[in-house]
Structure 1
Amino acid sequence: MRIQSPSLVELHSFLAVARTGSFRRAAQELCVTQAAVSRAVARLEADMGQEVFTRTPGGVALTALGAELQRMTARHVRGLEAAGLRLRRPSERLRLRLSVVTSLGNLWLMPRLEDFRRQHPGVAIEFRQYRHDEDFTRDDVDLWIDVKRSLRQQWPRQIAARYLVGREILEVCTPAVASGIANAQDILRQPLLYHSAHPGNWEIWAGQAGLDLAGHPLDCGFDLVINMVDAARAGMGVAVVQECMVRDDLRAGRLVAPLGVRASTGRGYYVCRRRAQAAHPASELFSQWLQEQALAPISAAVRQ
């Protein structure tokens, strides 16, 4: 029987480009040359008789065929990788040493981590202390999930960073508080809860909502997002917060977004690794899983 499927080399290259949006970043992830990735994708497209990517000066995007190919093959290729790792190391668990910004770890990662453990029981995760002033020189961490603190922030040259979640913010409060909010102006009648490191988030959100905050003070500030979310859950007022942080609260109905106004801060959380890091299967499996979790649909209680 003639083999109809693309080769694993071609699929790995294709899926890496699809994940990263770049031939260069895909080559870095796969620890091969960019030319090797380009040749593999070219062979795949020649075999398919159609393009799987559209090329632009800013990167690449999946064609309709490419999106369908990714949907049909990504999970199977990951399964083959996991099987190979497990069979190759029958008596050895892969170890991943991870450092995660505190609030994202508690509010977003931890509720999802059992899914990774179920899919990859051969990977042991060890959490390392998160450092607010991280310089990425420590040797006890394989992978970081860190926050971009300003639009102008540049990651160190030795670090490859890829956006994960957290650019979008929206307003949230309890259903009881939301009962008194019918429009943006009603927001000003409620205490405004804010992240003390980013009080400007309220101005960003207000600009998107068409609301003038001039002369209106913020109410209560918190140095950790997790504490601000707890305050919103307790009915202390309205918070503007990264949507990813309250996804489960919105789904469960503990919090609602009464206006459903979303705004982008341009910052967010990034998966970071050392460029010079040798092939690290546990990091690769975890990074791929993280991106899947970030792309999962949000089922939020947003009043339309």
Structure 2
Amino acid sequence: MLNLPPRISSRLNSSQFANLHTFLVAARHLSFTRAAQELCLTASAVSHRISRLEAALDIKLFLRLTRQVGLTEEGERIFNILQDAMGELSDALEQSSQVEVAGAIALYVRPSVAQCWLVPRLADFFERYPLVSLDLRVGNDNVDFRTRKIDLALYYANGEFPGLTSYRLMRERLAPVCSPAYAQRHRLHENPENLRHCTLLHDSLAWDHAAYDAEWMLWAEQHHMLAMLPKRSLTFDRSDLSVTAAMNHAGIAIGRERLVQKRVDRGELVLPFAGFRRSGHYDYYLVHPPLAAIPKRLQVFMNWLHECAGPSTGKDDGRLEM
């Protein structure tokens, strides 16, 4: 329910609901031009609708700047109220019955997490909830929930998401991984110092604003191996690509336990130095905009993800011995 103060709700009438929808779209884009494109109107028509709404409510919703618009404090408050109300209404309309869960979920995920962890598990979710559809989108950038119609994001990050709601889904641990043949060729099991003769495989976009060698630096600092890091390297923008290169004898990569454990179990990869260990404070987080109530379809999906994640990893498996 749209919980507006009496002085506002008393001024709303049937002619203003179209203007409220126009405001909602314009506030999401922070652009009258892009709102006009979505609504199949002219930018001038969008501006007139907003002006009529502001006059009717006696509230200034937008700051008109030189080449852009921004929300006022009141505009931001009304926008958040409308978003929550529309989310609740959408959820109610998507339910085919009181029992079944239905509707669409737009999910944004880092490519490596989607490829190695999420996608292989999805069949189980759709068997349980056949009336829920999933729009899965991948990318290395942090999504703008205001301008893109995304319900939920799954990030590998440090847990800092200003203005958003987040939950830690699962912890992560790191270890260098390579093919058995590569470890044998460089005698890495017996001589960790031989790392200096290897090729390092990097995920250059491990997390937001990460340096290209951030994961290797975390691991090397923890194990006092900075002096042994070679300069020769191959760089990718996805963790799964660096691991695939490692499986094919191109070098040695930093493996994330959640993404590579099955390949280690199958013998496609080995851990030449030590077991997986915590390195830094980077884990997997579910993130969404603040909501007055989480839609049922989204709640069951988040619960299912937590079930897939299982209990948090407990202790470290080993230490690097020199």
Query: Normalized against structure 1, the TM-score is what?
Result: 0.61
**CA positional deviation for 1:297:** 8.5
Residues 1:156 and 2:162 are matched in the alignment: yes
**CA positional deviation for 1:240:** 0.9
**CA positional deviation for 1:110:** 0.8
1:197-224 CA-partner distances (Å, limit 9, x unpaired): 3403212212333323367314111112
Uncovered stretches (5+) of structure 1, i.e. residues with no partner = 1-84
The one of 207, 213, 217 aligned to 2:231: 217
- Contact preservation (8 Å) 1:100, 1:145: yes
1:11-32 CA-partner distances (Å, limit 9, x unpaired): xxxxxxxxxxxxxxxxxxxxxx
Q: Distance in 2 between matches of 1:139 and 1:215?
A: 41
Aligned residues: 212
- Contact preservation (8 Å) 1:259, 1:303: no
**CA positional deviation for 1:115:** 2.1
Query: Which residue does the alignment assign to 1:115?
Result: 124
- Contact preservation (8 Å) 1:95, 1:126: yes
**CA positional deviation for 1:225:** 1.4
1:255-281 CA-partner distances (Å, limit 9, x unpaired): 121223424131233101121253311
- Contact preservation (8 Å) 2:114, 2:138: no
- Residues 223 and 128 of structure 1: CA distance in aligned 2, closer, same or farther (over 3 Å): closer
Counterpart of 1:176, as a letter, is A
- Higher mean alpha-carbon deviation, 259-268 vs 185-194, is at 259-268
**CA positional deviation for 1:164:** 2.3
Query: Which residue does the alignment assign to 1:175?
Result: 180
- Contact preservation (8 Å) 1:104, 1:245: yes
Residues 1:193 and 2:196 are matched in the alignment: no
Does the residue aligned with 2:286 lie in a helix, a strand or coil?
strand
- Residues 89 and 124 of structure 1: CA distance in aligned 2, closer, same or farther (over 3 Å): farther
**CA positional deviation for 1:232:** 0.9
1:133-168 CA-partner distances (Å, limit 9, x unpaired): 4232135211111232xx5x73131x1111224642
The one of 88, 94, 118 aligned to 2:98: 88
Query: Which residue does the alignment assign to 1:232?
Result: 246
Does the residue aligned with 1:254 lie in a helix, a strand or coil?
coil
- Residues 165 and 138 of structure 1: CA distance in aligned 2, closer, same or farther (over 3 Å): farther
Counterpart of 1:172, as a letter, is V
- Higher mean alpha-carbon deviation, 120-129 vs 166-175, is at 120-129
Query: Normalized against structure 2, the TM-score is what?
Result: 0.58
Query: Which residue does the alignment assign to 1:292?
Result: 307
Counterpart of 1:269, as a letter, is Y
- Residues 253 and 189 of structure 1: CA distance in aligned 2, closer, same or farther (over 3 Å): same
Counterpart of 1:270, as a letter, is Y
Uncovered stretches (5+) of structure 2, i.e. residues with no partner = 1-94, 206-210
> Superposition pairs for residues 1-304 of structure 1, below 5 Å?
88=98, 93-128=102-137, 130=139, 132-138=141-147, 140-148=149-157, 151=158, 154-157=160-163, 159-165=164-170, 167-179=172-184, 180-182=187-189, 183-197=191-205, 198=211, 199-213=213-227, 216-261=230-275, 262-276=277-291, 278-295=293-310
Does the residue aligned with 1:188 lie in a helix, a strand or coil?
helix
Greater C-alpha radius of gyration = 2
Does the residue aligned with 1:155 lie in a helix, a strand or coil?
coil
- Contact preservation (8 Å) 1:169, 1:205: yes
**CA positional deviation for 1:89:** 5.2
- Please tell me the root mean square deviation across aligned C-alpha atoms, in Å: 2.8
Regions of 4+ moved over 6 Å: none
**CA positional deviation for 1:236:** 0.5
Query: Which residue does the alignment assign to 2:28?
Result: none
Q: Distance in 1 between matches of 2:140 and 2:214?
A: 23
Percent of pairs with identical residues: 26
- Residues 215 and 175 of structure 1: CA distance in aligned 2, closer, same or farther (over 3 Å): closer
**CA positional deviation for 1:126:** 1.8
Q: Distance in 2 between matches of 1:227 and 1:98?
A: 22
1:90-110 CA-partner distances (Å, limit 9, x unpaired): 5x7332221111111111111
